[in-house]
Amino acid sequence: MLKPCQIHQSQSAQTLLFPVPAKPLIHGHGSNLASFPVCVRPSIMFPYKKPKRVGRGFINSGKVKAVLSESEKSTRVKAVITVKRTVGGILTNLGLQRGLDDIQDLLGKSLLLELVSADLDPKTGLEKKTIKGYAHRTRIGENGTVEYEADFDISTDFGKVGAILVENEHHKEAFLRDIVLDGFPSGPVTISCRSWVHSKFDNPQKRVFFTNKSYLPSETPSGVRRLRDEDLESLRGNGEGERKSFERIYDYDVYNDLGNPDSSEELKRPVLGGKDHPYPRRCRTGRPRTKTDPLSEERSASVYVPRDEAFSEIKQLTFQAKTVYSGLHALVPSLETVLLDRTLGFPHFRGIDSLFDEGLKMPPTEDQGILKNILPRLIKTVTDANDALQFEIPETMDRDKFFWFRDEEFGRQTLAGLNPCSIQLVTEWPLKSQLDPKVYGPSESVITKELIEREIRGFMTVDEAIKAKKLFILDYHDLLLPYVSKVREIEGTTLYGSRTLFFLTLDGTLRPLAIELTRPPIDGKPQWKQVFTPSWHATGVWLWRLAKAHVLAHDSGYHQLVSHWLRTHCATEPYIIATRRQLSEMHPIYRLLHPHFRYTMEINALAREALINAGGIIESSFSPGKYSLELCADAYDKQWQFDLQALPADLIHRGLAVEDPSAPHGLKLTIEDYPFANDGLVLWDVIKQWVADYVNYYYPDPAQVESDPELQAWWTEIRTVGHADKKDEPWWPVLKTPSDLINIVTTIVWVTSGHHAAVNFGQYTYAGYFPNRPTIARTNMPTEDADEQFRENFFAKPEEALLQCFPSQIQATTVMAVLDILSNHSPDEEYLGEKMEPAWGEDAVINAAFERFNGRLRELEGIVDDRNANKKLRNRCGAGVVPYQLLKPFSEPGVTGKGVPYSISI
């Protein structure tokens, strides 16, 4: 056993007591140091070297100070760097590199900082020399942080600090939360980093962090102009090579990584993006091409996203994050073990109810622990030995077990359900297809005037109903019909083109009138189409229920692929890439948009990995099957316009509103009780006012918008590169004035916050009980060329026919579990307007504007509550009706059916 040594002092040397760890050090745990001292001679361990002069100071080991001559006036400034404690970062990872990093911390050589002056040298016109110093670890915070400190003596002629360069001396990356410079006469200077800093051993280039004060390009302090340009240049990369996980490079690519042709010819998919299949662009990863298809990119276990787009540590450790998607690989095989027949449907409705009452017994596997962590609400321990996948009862079903059966609920959900942005006003009669009749058959609908007038029982004629704006439609006819033949070749599914007509009643509710299902000419058979209506006899009632199941499957597919994925996740990724590539972090518009982009790129990468990929959840469980993303590209080509993503423009385009300066929000709604529009327009106005206050402050002169080179490059890149396949469309807004900028930014903010919340966080509430929103229809209508046996079975047991049409057991349970995940709010969710971004708080005017923004959102909370209590509003209040809260701004964690996050974070 080593014994404490005596201390000897002499003029030549001094022996120190230096504690050496008995086991490898773990950062953040001082108790890991050995409790006994060991004699270490500093001349051996720390050979003395004359301090090297760097800039205005000296660098030495340990606690380093910048030393100035007594003749110079200076200010002593302390830099406190807060590093967030992480599982994957610098605070763990035992081994040789970890040990080297511990020694670096002990030597005070963890992080090298360089202070950059905001001003040029007035004598030379050149940048002033930076002031360098090493930071040393000083404190372990209680909130999961570690603090490092460095001291600087800053001469008075140095001026204000404009930026800080950081070099990470560790072998592992570090997450810097912020740097606070304290000691200036004007008060502390905070630089919010919130970024991963790579190890210098991975990349020798230093990271630059600018102060929180925002600047237009023309107003950039002279001392940091070069750094502003160079930082943007580094983020763009050179478009070559495979991206590495620690990099922060943003570039564009087409969707060529959804298929897996090297695994199977069945998993080959067309490239989305380009002339054949127009589509938004995604982030480039640079992975090599597949061996069997030179157009496709190889898939990998981990998909590159720029480092700062990755999930926070908390999000990684909660079941809403990366483990969710990887966990699907554990869930599906477990279900397949229990449900041996992938095509097996539910034998009776009691079997569906048992998913909520008893659950599905799960086999004991190595993945059981993973599943418990991923699905804590759903995996229940029923005995000491067995677990069950037991679903929570959705609020809709809890309030009214038969809600899904009722036609009034079918109509109500088109206005206040999961997909409230597809309903359109009927403006012309007869209804006609725009498809080629030579290919798809006669274009005119078989929904006749006589049929509609019979259904509304003489209340008015069709012409009068159209004039009075009483007829509405869900029209998936032309989008789906070209896919019918292809989808029907897939075993276990079918497809139609569909139209569903509704009538606006005196109560302000929508009454379903008719469903038309169409099959194009196929296998030598002519076009088939038939109209189904609510009926008063048994056969008609069951045919109507089956027709509704088909339409709901169409609506579910459209919702997931277009209203949700395309309009929010997919269309937003180019905005993020362009913002990073063209707007400096100093730019006020970058800082306005930044919270609206958090985590979206990683969510999208994970979706390409497990949800929208070939053979993934969407393809295996939703109506268009393997053609799902191809259909999504068609919707982008035919329907997507940037200007129509603004809520007011969308409502006007669908005939659900007209401009009226005297009406609230400047719009008169066609359906007064339209919960999505009612709440959405309040939220839209609140967002627009906040954006207007912000933009008008930074652009007091309208000419500044058109003369801002970063801003113009940003908007040009979004239009011509990010959405390259639509670059020549005439509907793109121009960007010349503050008003133009306000409208563009408000649209982006609405899409990432309000629109996404409206179509995402109600998924389990409305589709958790899948008969309400089946994701796939597996059998044809009994009246379409059915064989005699099929007809007999339908007449004998119509309930079985409906259950066979519904998703199979494995399809339903998989989707239900995924929807529970996607409907969850993370514990670290950041809600719109709840917390202020650090850069916004730097300016009193923006600070005050944000406080008004927050106050208006609090008012919206009360408005929603009042509306949900108003019994006159039949689409959001009534017996067994779930109140509409999806656009209520704030929420607690979990599946709550409310809450509007800043960004598309799940």
Place of tokens 């180019």: 574
Out of 569, 596, 723, 825, which one is annotated catalytic? 569
For 809, the 3-state DSSP assignment is: helix
**Other Cβ atoms within 10 Å of 74 Cβ, number:** 18
Annotation marks residue 756 as catalytic: yes
Annotation marks residue 760 as catalytic: yes
CA distance to 162, 364, 682, 702, 709, per residue, from 220 (Å): 10, 62, 36, 19, 13
CA dist., res. 737 & res. 358, Å (int): 61
CA dist., res. 156 & res. 128, Å (int): 13
N-term to C-term CA, the chain? 56
CA distance to 393, 414, 589, 789, 829, per residue, from 408 (Å): 21, 10, 45, 33, 35
Annotation marks residue 27 as catalytic: no
CA dist., res. 814 & res. 355, Å (int): 12
Place of tokens 């385009």: 653
Out of 90, 718, 744, 906, which one is annotated catalytic? 906
Cβ atoms 683, 860 nearer than 8 A? yes
Phi-psi region for residue 647, left (φ > 0), alpha (ψ -120 to 50) or beta? Answer: alpha
SS (H, E, C) 457-507: CCCCCHHHHHHCCCEEEEECHHHHHHHHHHHCCCCCCCCCEEEEEEEECCC
Cβ atoms 626, 619 nearer than 8 A? yes
Out of 756, 776, 875, 904, which one is annotated catalytic? 756
CA distance to 560, 627, 637, 904, per residue, from 323 (Å): 21, 27, 33, 17
CA distance to 358, 455, 465, 475, 646, per residue, from 462 (Å): 50, 11, 5, 18, 31
Place of tokens 């044809």: 780
Task: Transcribe 707-748 into DSSP letters.
Answer: T-HHHHHHHHHIIIIITGGGTT-TTSPP--SHHHHHHHHHHH
148: amino acid identity, one letter: Y
Cβ atoms 766, 418 nearer than 8 A? yes
Place of tokens 């005939």: 655
CA distance to 220, 269, 577, 708, per residue, from 216 (Å): 6, 44, 20, 7
Report the run of H or E that residue 310 belongs to, with start and end: none
Longest dimension (CA), the chain: 113
Out of 419, 760, 772, 824, which one is annotated catalytic? 760
For 98, the 3-state DSSP assignment is: helix
CA dist., res. 69 & res. 84, Å (int): 36
Cβ atoms 425, 469 nearer than 8 A? yes
| Closest residue by Cα to residue 525 from 785, 778, 783, 781 | 785
Out of 550, 554, 564, 665, which one is annotated catalytic? 564
CA dist., res. 331 & res. 323, Å (int): 11
CA dist., res. 66 & res. 153, Å (int): 5
Say how many residues make up the chain: 906
Annotation marks residue 564 as catalytic: yes
Q: Which residues are catalytic?
A: 564, 569, 756, 760, 906
